[in-house]
Protein backbone atom coordinates (compact mmCIF):
# COMPACT_ATOMS: atom_id res chain seq x y z
CA UNK A 1 0.00 0.00 0.00
CA UNK A 2 1.29 3.40 -0.97
CA UNK A 3 2.00 6.15 1.50
CA UNK A 4 -0.83 8.25 0.07
CA UNK A 5 -3.35 5.47 0.63
CA UNK A 6 -2.14 4.95 4.20
CA UNK A 7 -2.63 8.66 4.99
CA UNK A 8 -6.13 8.65 3.53
CA UNK A 9 -7.03 5.52 5.48
CA UNK A 10 -5.77 7.02 8.79
CA UNK A 11 -7.67 10.27 8.21
CA UNK A 12 -10.85 8.36 7.54
CA UNK A 13 -10.48 6.35 10.75
CA UNK A 14 -9.96 9.54 12.76
CA UNK A 15 -13.10 11.13 11.30
CA UNK A 16 -15.02 7.98 12.11
CA UNK A 17 -13.86 8.00 15.75
CA UNK A 18 -14.73 11.67 16.18
CA UNK A 19 -18.14 11.03 14.72
CA UNK A 20 -18.77 8.16 17.09
CA UNK A 21 -17.74 10.31 20.09
CA UNK A 22 -20.07 13.12 19.00
CA UNK A 23 -22.93 10.68 18.47
CA UNK A 24 -22.32 9.08 21.89
CA UNK A 25 -22.25 12.45 23.67
CA UNK A 26 -25.42 13.49 21.92
CA UNK A 27 -27.06 10.26 22.96
CA UNK A 28 -26.08 10.83 26.57
CA UNK A 29 -27.46 14.37 26.45
CA UNK A 30 -30.70 13.13 24.99
CA UNK A 31 -31.00 10.54 27.75
CA UNK A 32 -30.83 13.34 30.33
CA UNK A 33 -29.03 14.00 33.61
CA UNK A 34 -28.87 11.20 36.14
CA UNK A 35 -30.85 11.99 39.30
CA UNK A 36 -32.61 10.16 42.09
CA UNK A 37 -36.39 9.97 41.90
CA UNK A 38 -38.87 9.75 44.75
CA UNK A 39 -42.65 10.00 44.96
CA UNK A 40 -44.54 12.47 47.10
CA UNK A 41 -46.04 10.38 49.90
CA UNK A 42 -47.50 10.48 53.39
CA UNK A 43 -45.41 9.95 56.50
CA UNK A 44 -45.46 10.60 60.24
CA UNK A 45 -43.29 13.67 60.90
CA UNK A 46 -41.69 14.87 64.11
CA UNK A 47 -40.20 18.36 64.33
CA UNK A 48 -37.50 18.62 66.99
CA UNK A 49 -34.88 20.99 68.36
CA UNK A 50 -31.57 19.54 69.52
CA UNK A 51 -29.47 21.28 72.16
CA UNK A 52 -26.63 20.34 74.48
CA UNK A 53 -25.96 21.24 78.08
CA UNK A 54 -25.36 19.85 81.57
CA UNK A 55 -27.22 17.78 84.12
CA UNK A 56 -28.10 19.80 87.24
CA UNK A 57 -30.28 19.20 90.30
CA UNK A 58 -33.33 21.42 90.49
CA UNK A 59 -32.33 22.52 93.98
CA UNK A 60 -28.84 22.91 95.36
CA UNK A 61 -27.25 25.05 98.08
CA UNK A 62 -23.73 26.46 98.05
CA UNK A 63 -22.46 26.72 101.61
CA UNK A 64 -19.94 29.53 102.05
CA UNK A 65 -18.05 31.04 104.95
CA UNK A 66 -19.47 34.22 106.48
CA UNK A 67 -16.44 34.69 108.73
CA UNK A 68 -12.71 34.17 108.50
CA UNK A 69 -11.11 31.29 110.38
CA UNK A 70 -9.19 28.06 110.11
CA UNK A 71 -11.18 24.91 109.42
CA UNK A 72 -10.66 22.53 112.35
CA UNK A 73 -13.10 19.74 111.46
CA UNK A 74 -15.01 18.46 108.42
CA UNK A 75 -17.63 15.90 109.40
CA UNK A 76 -18.75 14.81 105.91
CA UNK A 77 -17.19 13.57 102.70
CA UNK A 78 -17.99 14.34 99.09
CA UNK A 79 -20.78 12.11 97.81
CA UNK A 80 -22.18 11.48 101.28
CA UNK A 81 -25.89 11.89 102.05
CA UNK A 82 -26.79 14.37 104.80
CA UNK A 83 -30.00 15.30 106.60
CA UNK A 84 -31.29 18.76 107.39
CA UNK A 85 -29.62 20.17 110.51
CA UNK A 86 -26.71 17.70 110.43
CA UNK A 87 -23.30 19.03 111.55
CA UNK A 88 -21.02 19.62 108.56
CA UNK A 89 -17.95 21.71 109.36
CA UNK A 90 -16.26 23.53 112.23
CA UNK A 91 -14.27 26.76 111.99
CA UNK A 92 -11.90 27.55 114.87
CA UNK A 93 -14.11 29.38 117.43
CA UNK A 94 -11.35 30.57 119.79
CA UNK A 95 -11.21 34.16 118.58
CA UNK A 96 -14.98 34.47 118.42
CA UNK A 97 -15.41 33.03 121.92
CA UNK A 98 -13.01 35.67 123.23
CA UNK A 99 -14.87 38.37 121.32
CA UNK A 100 -18.15 37.22 122.86
CA UNK A 101 -16.67 37.29 126.37
CA UNK A 102 -15.35 40.78 125.80
CA UNK A 103 -18.68 41.94 124.42
CA UNK A 104 -20.50 40.42 127.41
CA UNK A 105 -18.14 42.21 129.82
CA UNK A 106 -18.64 45.51 128.00
CA UNK A 107 -22.40 45.06 128.21
CA UNK A 108 -22.22 44.37 131.95
CA UNK A 109 -20.08 47.47 132.44
CA UNK A 110 -22.50 49.55 130.39
CA UNK A 111 -25.43 48.27 132.41
CA UNK A 112 -23.68 49.17 135.66
CA UNK A 113 -22.92 52.64 134.30
CA UNK A 114 -26.57 53.00 133.34
CA UNK A 115 -27.68 52.04 136.85
CA UNK A 116 -25.30 54.64 138.32
CA UNK A 117 -26.50 57.28 135.85
CA UNK A 118 -30.10 56.54 136.82
CA UNK A 119 -29.26 56.93 140.52
CA UNK A 120 -27.56 60.28 139.82
CA UNK A 121 -30.55 61.43 137.80
CA UNK A 122 -32.96 60.46 140.59
CA UNK A 123 -30.83 62.31 143.17
CA UNK A 124 -30.65 65.40 140.98
CA UNK A 125 -34.42 65.22 140.47
CA UNK A 126 -35.06 65.14 144.24
CA UNK A 127 -32.67 68.06 144.81
CA UNK A 128 -34.45 70.05 142.13
CA UNK A 129 -37.86 69.39 143.66
CA UNK A 130 -36.69 70.47 147.15
CA UNK A 131 -35.16 73.63 145.74
CA UNK A 132 -38.41 74.48 143.97
CA UNK A 133 -40.45 73.91 147.16
CA UNK A 134 -38.14 76.11 149.24
CA UNK A 135 -38.21 78.79 146.56
CA UNK A 136 -42.00 78.71 146.64
CA UNK A 137 -42.28 78.81 150.42
CA UNK A 138 -39.47 81.27 151.18
CA UNK A 139 -38.13 83.12 148.14
CA UNK A 140 -35.49 84.79 150.34
CA UNK A 141 -33.96 81.43 151.34
CA UNK A 142 -33.30 80.14 147.76
CA UNK A 143 -32.01 82.47 145.12
CA UNK A 144 -32.84 82.23 141.45
CA UNK A 145 -29.26 81.21 140.74
CA UNK A 146 -29.50 78.23 143.09
CA UNK A 147 -32.71 77.11 141.40
CA UNK A 148 -31.03 77.33 137.99
CA UNK A 149 -28.04 75.34 139.24
CA UNK A 150 -30.34 72.57 140.53
CA UNK A 151 -32.16 72.49 137.19
CA UNK A 152 -28.86 72.31 135.31
CA UNK A 153 -27.64 69.43 137.49
CA UNK A 154 -30.83 67.53 136.79
CA UNK A 155 -30.55 68.11 133.02
CA UNK A 156 -26.96 66.87 133.02
CA UNK A 157 -27.91 63.77 135.00
CA UNK A 158 -30.80 63.12 132.60
CA UNK A 159 -28.47 63.37 129.58
CA UNK A 160 -25.94 61.05 131.24
CA UNK A 161 -28.69 58.48 131.83
CA UNK A 162 -29.76 58.69 128.19
CA UNK A 163 -26.16 58.22 127.02
CA UNK A 164 -25.69 55.28 129.39
CA UNK A 165 -28.88 53.68 128.10
CA UNK A 166 -27.67 53.96 124.50
CA UNK A 167 -24.32 52.51 125.53
CA UNK A 168 -26.15 49.52 126.98
CA UNK A 169 -28.04 49.08 123.69
CA UNK A 170 -24.78 49.33 121.74
CA UNK A 171 -23.06 46.82 124.03
CA UNK A 172 -26.03 44.49 123.71
CA UNK A 173 -25.86 44.69 119.89
CA UNK A 174 -22.11 44.03 119.98
CA UNK A 175 -22.69 41.02 122.18
CA UNK A 176 -25.37 39.72 119.82
CA UNK A 177 -23.02 40.20 116.85
CA UNK A 178 -20.27 38.32 118.66
CA UNK A 179 -22.74 35.57 119.51
CA UNK A 180 -23.81 35.32 115.85
CA UNK A 181 -20.19 35.14 114.67
CA UNK A 182 -19.52 32.38 117.15
CA UNK A 183 -22.58 30.52 115.89
CA UNK A 184 -21.29 30.87 112.29
CA UNK A 185 -18.21 28.84 113.22
CA UNK A 186 -20.43 25.75 113.27
CA UNK A 187 -22.02 24.93 109.91
CA UNK A 188 -25.05 22.64 109.64
CA UNK A 189 -26.92 21.30 106.62
CA UNK A 190 -29.69 23.68 105.49
CA UNK A 191 -31.48 20.84 103.67
CA UNK A 192 -31.29 17.12 103.07
CA UNK A 193 -29.30 15.97 100.06
CA UNK A 194 -25.94 14.77 98.81
CA UNK A 195 -22.62 16.56 99.19
CA UNK A 196 -21.75 17.05 95.53
CA UNK A 197 -18.78 19.33 96.05
CA UNK A 198 -16.23 19.67 98.84
CA UNK A 199 -13.25 21.75 97.68
CA UNK A 200 -11.66 22.39 101.12
CA UNK A 201 -9.60 20.39 103.60
CA UNK A 202 -9.07 20.59 107.33
CA UNK A 203 -6.42 23.19 108.17
CA UNK A 204 -7.34 25.55 105.34
CA UNK A 205 -8.53 29.06 106.09
CA UNK A 206 -12.14 29.83 105.28
CA UNK A 207 -12.81 33.36 104.01
CA UNK A 208 -16.07 35.19 103.23
CA UNK A 209 -17.14 35.21 99.58
CA UNK A 210 -17.20 38.99 99.26
CA UNK A 211 -16.28 39.29 95.58
CA UNK A 212 -16.62 35.73 94.27
CA UNK A 213 -18.71 32.90 95.65
CA UNK A 214 -16.12 30.37 94.48
CA UNK A 215 -13.52 31.87 96.82
CA UNK A 216 -15.54 31.31 99.96
CA UNK A 217 -17.28 28.11 98.84
CA UNK A 218 -16.94 25.34 101.39
CA UNK A 219 -19.28 22.72 99.97
CA UNK A 220 -22.37 22.18 97.83
CA UNK A 221 -25.39 20.11 98.85
CA UNK A 222 -27.72 18.98 96.07
CA UNK A 223 -31.21 17.52 96.20
CA UNK A 224 -30.95 14.79 93.56
CA UNK A 225 -34.59 13.75 93.79
CA UNK A 226 -35.46 16.16 90.94
CA UNK A 227 -32.93 16.23 88.08
CA UNK A 228 -32.88 18.68 85.20
CA UNK A 229 -30.97 19.01 81.96
CA UNK A 230 -30.12 22.67 81.45
CA UNK A 231 -29.41 23.12 77.74
CA UNK A 232 -28.64 26.10 75.50
CA UNK A 233 -31.02 26.56 72.57
CA UNK A 234 -30.16 28.77 69.61
CA UNK A 235 -32.18 31.95 69.16
CA UNK A 236 -33.58 30.66 65.85
CA UNK A 237 -35.05 27.59 67.56
CA UNK A 238 -36.12 28.86 70.99
CA UNK A 239 -39.32 30.43 69.63
CA UNK A 240 -40.52 26.91 68.76
CA UNK A 241 -39.95 25.58 72.28
CA UNK A 242 -42.84 25.74 74.75
CA UNK A 243 -43.52 24.64 78.31
CA UNK A 244 -44.62 21.03 78.46
CA UNK A 245 -42.91 19.91 75.24
CA UNK A 246 -41.77 16.30 75.47
CA UNK A 247 -38.02 15.72 75.41
CA UNK A 248 -35.63 12.83 74.90
CA UNK A 249 -32.41 13.31 76.85
CA UNK A 250 -29.18 11.46 76.11
CA UNK A 251 -26.51 11.52 78.81
CA UNK A 252 -22.94 10.77 77.75
CA UNK A 253 -22.32 8.76 80.94
CA UNK A 254 -25.27 6.46 80.08
CA UNK A 255 -24.77 5.83 76.34
CA UNK A 256 -27.21 2.93 76.09
CA UNK A 257 -30.18 4.68 77.70
CA UNK A 258 -32.44 7.54 76.64
CA UNK A 259 -34.39 9.41 79.29
CA UNK A 260 -37.67 11.24 78.86
CA UNK A 261 -38.75 14.56 80.31
CA UNK A 262 -40.65 17.79 79.76
CA UNK A 263 -39.68 21.41 79.26
CA UNK A 264 -40.34 23.17 82.57
CA UNK A 265 -38.70 26.54 81.95
CA UNK A 266 -37.67 28.67 78.98
CA UNK A 267 -35.54 31.69 79.87
CA UNK A 268 -36.55 35.12 78.62
CA UNK A 269 -33.00 36.47 78.52
CA UNK A 270 -30.02 35.14 76.62
CA UNK A 271 -27.08 33.35 78.15
CA UNK A 272 -23.87 35.39 78.08
CA UNK A 273 -20.48 33.78 78.43
CA UNK A 274 -17.60 35.36 80.35
CA UNK A 275 -16.16 37.04 77.23
CA UNK A 276 -19.46 38.65 76.27
CA UNK A 277 -20.06 39.82 79.84
CA UNK A 278 -16.63 41.44 80.10
CA UNK A 279 -16.63 43.13 76.69
CA UNK A 280 -20.35 43.75 76.28
CA UNK A 281 -20.14 42.31 72.76
CA UNK A 282 -23.13 40.63 71.13
CA UNK A 283 -21.29 39.34 68.05
CA UNK A 284 -21.32 35.74 69.22
CA UNK A 285 -24.22 33.37 68.70
CA UNK A 286 -27.14 34.04 71.03
CA UNK A 287 -28.42 31.13 73.11
CA UNK A 288 -31.26 30.77 75.60
CA UNK A 289 -31.31 28.38 78.54
CA UNK A 290 -34.06 25.77 78.59
CA UNK A 291 -34.66 23.56 81.63
CA UNK A 292 -35.85 20.00 81.05
CA UNK A 293 -37.05 17.99 84.05
CA UNK A 294 -36.32 14.27 83.73
CA UNK A 295 -39.12 11.82 84.57
CA UNK A 296 -37.02 8.93 85.88
CA UNK A 297 -33.36 9.89 86.31
CA UNK A 298 -30.88 7.14 87.16
CA UNK A 299 -30.05 6.66 90.83
CA UNK A 300 -26.29 7.18 90.36
CA UNK A 301 -26.54 10.39 88.32
CA UNK A 302 -24.22 13.28 89.11
CA UNK A 303 -24.32 17.01 88.48
CA UNK A 304 -22.46 18.51 85.49
CA UNK A 305 -22.73 15.39 83.32
CA UNK A 306 -22.89 16.27 79.62
CA UNK A 307 -26.32 15.81 78.07
CA UNK A 308 -28.09 16.31 74.75
CA UNK A 309 -31.80 17.07 74.61
CA UNK A 310 -34.07 16.44 71.63
CA UNK A 311 -37.10 18.65 72.20
CA UNK A 312 -40.18 17.65 70.20
CA UNK A 313 -41.85 20.89 69.10
CA UNK A 314 -44.52 19.52 66.74
CA UNK A 315 -45.83 16.30 65.20
CA UNK A 316 -47.85 15.37 62.11
CA UNK A 317 -49.62 12.09 61.41
CA UNK A 318 -49.52 10.84 57.80
CA UNK A 319 -48.65 14.26 56.43
CA UNK A 320 -47.92 14.77 52.73
CA UNK A 321 -44.14 15.10 52.63
CA UNK A 322 -41.03 15.41 50.48
CA UNK A 323 -37.35 14.81 51.24
CA UNK A 324 -35.60 17.83 52.71
CA UNK A 325 -32.88 17.58 50.07
CA UNK A 326 -35.50 17.89 47.30
CA UNK A 327 -36.53 21.41 48.30
CA UNK A 328 -34.60 24.06 46.43
CA UNK A 329 -34.96 27.71 45.44
CA UNK A 330 -35.09 29.44 42.10
CA UNK A 331 -35.11 33.11 41.26
CA UNK A 332 -38.39 34.66 40.20
CA UNK A 333 -38.36 36.47 36.89
CA UNK A 334 -40.13 39.85 36.93
CA UNK A 335 -43.23 39.96 34.75
CA UNK A 336 -43.90 43.02 32.58
CA UNK A 337 -47.04 43.96 30.62
CA UNK A 338 -48.02 47.03 28.66
CA UNK A 339 -50.60 48.03 31.23
CA UNK A 340 -48.34 47.34 34.19
CA UNK A 341 -44.79 48.68 33.93
CA UNK A 342 -42.02 46.89 35.72
CA UNK A 343 -40.76 48.42 38.97
CA UNK A 344 -37.06 48.62 38.14
CA UNK A 345 -36.02 48.62 41.80
CA UNK A 346 -38.04 45.47 42.41
CA UNK A 347 -36.84 43.91 39.19
CA UNK A 348 -33.23 44.32 40.23
CA UNK A 349 -33.87 42.75 43.58
CA UNK A 350 -33.54 38.99 43.50
CA UNK A 351 -36.54 37.17 44.83
CA UNK A 352 -36.42 33.44 45.26
CA UNK A 353 -39.19 30.89 45.44
CA UNK A 354 -39.03 27.53 47.20
CA UNK A 355 -40.09 24.51 45.25
CA UNK A 356 -39.16 21.12 43.81
CA UNK A 357 -38.54 19.62 40.38
CA UNK A 358 -41.50 17.50 39.34
CA UNK A 359 -40.65 14.80 36.79
CA UNK A 360 -43.06 13.85 34.01
CA UNK A 361 -42.09 11.92 30.87
CA UNK A 362 -38.40 12.37 31.69
CA UNK A 363 -38.63 16.18 31.96
CA UNK A 364 -37.97 18.01 35.25
CA UNK A 365 -40.18 21.07 35.77
CA UNK A 366 -39.69 23.44 38.68
CA UNK A 367 -42.86 23.90 40.69
CA UNK A 368 -43.27 26.23 43.70
CA UNK A 369 -44.27 24.44 46.88
CA UNK A 370 -45.19 25.57 50.38
CA UNK A 371 -43.79 23.50 53.21
CA UNK A 372 -44.57 23.26 56.93
CA UNK A 373 -42.68 21.57 59.73
CA UNK A 374 -39.38 19.81 59.13
CA UNK A 375 -38.79 16.30 60.39
CA UNK A 376 -35.42 14.57 60.48
CA UNK A 377 -35.43 13.87 56.72
CA UNK A 378 -38.70 15.18 55.30
CA UNK A 379 -40.64 18.44 54.96
CA UNK A 380 -44.38 18.64 55.41
CA UNK A 381 -46.07 19.79 52.17
CA UNK A 382 -48.82 22.37 52.63
CA UNK A 383 -49.46 23.34 49.03
CA UNK A 384 -48.20 22.83 45.47
CA UNK A 385 -47.83 19.05 45.22
CA UNK A 386 -50.05 16.01 45.00
CA UNK A 387 -49.55 12.54 46.45
CA UNK A 388 -47.86 10.14 44.07
CA UNK A 389 -46.13 12.76 41.93
CA UNK A 390 -42.53 11.92 41.06
CA UNK A 391 -39.91 14.50 42.08
CA UNK A 392 -36.14 14.88 41.92
CA UNK A 393 -34.80 13.88 45.33
CA UNK A 394 -31.06 14.08 44.82
CA UNK A 395 -28.15 14.27 44.66
CA UNK A 396 -27.76 17.76 46.13
CA UNK A 397 -25.38 19.03 43.44
CA UNK A 398 -27.65 17.76 40.67
CA UNK A 399 -30.67 19.58 42.15
CA UNK A 400 -28.62 22.72 42.58
CA UNK A 401 -27.51 22.78 38.93
CA UNK A 402 -30.73 21.44 37.41
CA UNK A 403 -32.48 23.70 34.91
CA UNK A 404 -36.22 24.03 34.48
CA UNK A 405 -37.32 21.77 31.62
CA UNK A 406 -34.16 19.65 31.64
CA UNK A 407 -34.26 15.96 30.68
CA UNK A 408 -33.52 13.61 33.56
CA UNK A 409 -33.21 9.87 34.05
CA UNK A 410 -32.90 7.72 37.17
CA UNK A 411 -29.46 7.05 38.53
CA UNK A 412 -28.21 3.60 37.68
CA UNK A 413 -27.65 2.54 41.27
CA UNK A 414 -31.10 3.81 42.26
CA UNK A 415 -32.68 2.07 39.27
CA UNK A 416 -30.97 -1.23 40.13
CA UNK A 417 -32.16 -0.93 43.72
CA UNK A 418 -35.72 -0.31 42.54
CA UNK A 419 -35.61 -3.39 40.32
CA UNK A 420 -34.32 -5.55 43.14
CA UNK A 421 -37.08 -4.34 45.45
CA UNK A 422 -39.66 -5.07 42.74
CA UNK A 423 -38.22 -8.56 42.19
CA UNK A 424 -38.29 -9.26 45.90
Residues 364-376: tens digit of each pLDDT: 999 999 999 999 8
Q: Model-level pTM?
A: 0.66
Whether the predicted pLDDT of 280 surpasses 60: no
Q: Where are the domains of the chain?
A: 31-44+317-423, 51-57+225-316, 93-182
User: Cβ distance 379 to 322 under 8 Å?
Assistant: yes
Q: Which tops the pLDDT comparison, 8 or 141? A: 141
User: Cβ distance 242 to 93 under 8 Å?
Assistant: no
**Mean pLDDT across 204-213:** 80
User: Cβ distance 70 to 50 under 8 Å?
Assistant: no
pLDDT, residue 422, reads: 46
User: How far lies 257's CA from each of 56, 230, 246, 298, 300, in Å?
Assistant: 18, 18, 17, 10, 13
- Whether 31-44+317-423 shares its CATH topology with 51-57+225-316 is answered no
Looking at domain 51-57+225-316, its CATH superfamily turns out to be Efflux pump adaptor protein, beta barrel domain (2.40.30.170)
Helices (H), 270-408: 274-279, 344-348, 396-401
Cα(122)–Cα(128) distance, integer angstroms: 10
Q: Which tops the pLDDT comparison, 305 or 282? A: 305
Residues 6 or more apart from 127 whose CB is under 8 A from it?
A: 150, 153, 154
Q: Which tops the pLDDT comparison, 283 or 112? A: 112
Confidence grade of residue 131 (pLDDT, cut at 50, 70, 90): confident
Confidence grade of residue 314 (pLDDT, cut at 50, 70, 90): very high
**Mean pLDDT across 284-312:** 91
| 143-190 pLDDT, tens digit each | 888 888 989 999 999 999 999 999 999 999 999 999 999 999 999 999
Least confident of 52-66, 123-137, 409-423: 409-423
CB 154: neighbour CB atoms within 10 A?
21
Cα(416)–Cα(296) distance, integer angstroms: 47
**Mean pLDDT across 331-345:** 54
CA atoms within 13 A on the CB side of 300: 2
The CATH class given to the 31-44+317-423 domain equals mainly beta
Phi, psi of 113 (to 5 degrees): -65, -35
Residues 6 or more apart from 5 whose CB is under 8 A from it?
A: none
CB 139: neighbour CB atoms within 10 A?
11
Strands (E), 65-136: 69-74, 81-82, 87-91
| 74-92 pLDDT, tens digit each | 999 999 999 999 999 999 9
Q: At 80, is the secondary structure helix, strand, or coil?
A: coil
Amino acid sequence: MSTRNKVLLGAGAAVLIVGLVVISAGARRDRGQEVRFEKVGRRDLVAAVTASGKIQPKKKVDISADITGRITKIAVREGELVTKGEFLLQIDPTVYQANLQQAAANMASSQAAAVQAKANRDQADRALQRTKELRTQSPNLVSQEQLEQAQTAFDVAEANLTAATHQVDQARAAAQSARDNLRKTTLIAPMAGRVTRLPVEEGEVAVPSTFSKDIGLLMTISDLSVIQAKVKVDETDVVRVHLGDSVEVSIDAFPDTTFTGQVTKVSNSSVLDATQTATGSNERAVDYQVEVTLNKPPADIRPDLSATARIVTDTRKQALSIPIIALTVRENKPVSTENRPVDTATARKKKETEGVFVVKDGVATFRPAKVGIAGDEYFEVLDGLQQGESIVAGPYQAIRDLKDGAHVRPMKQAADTTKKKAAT
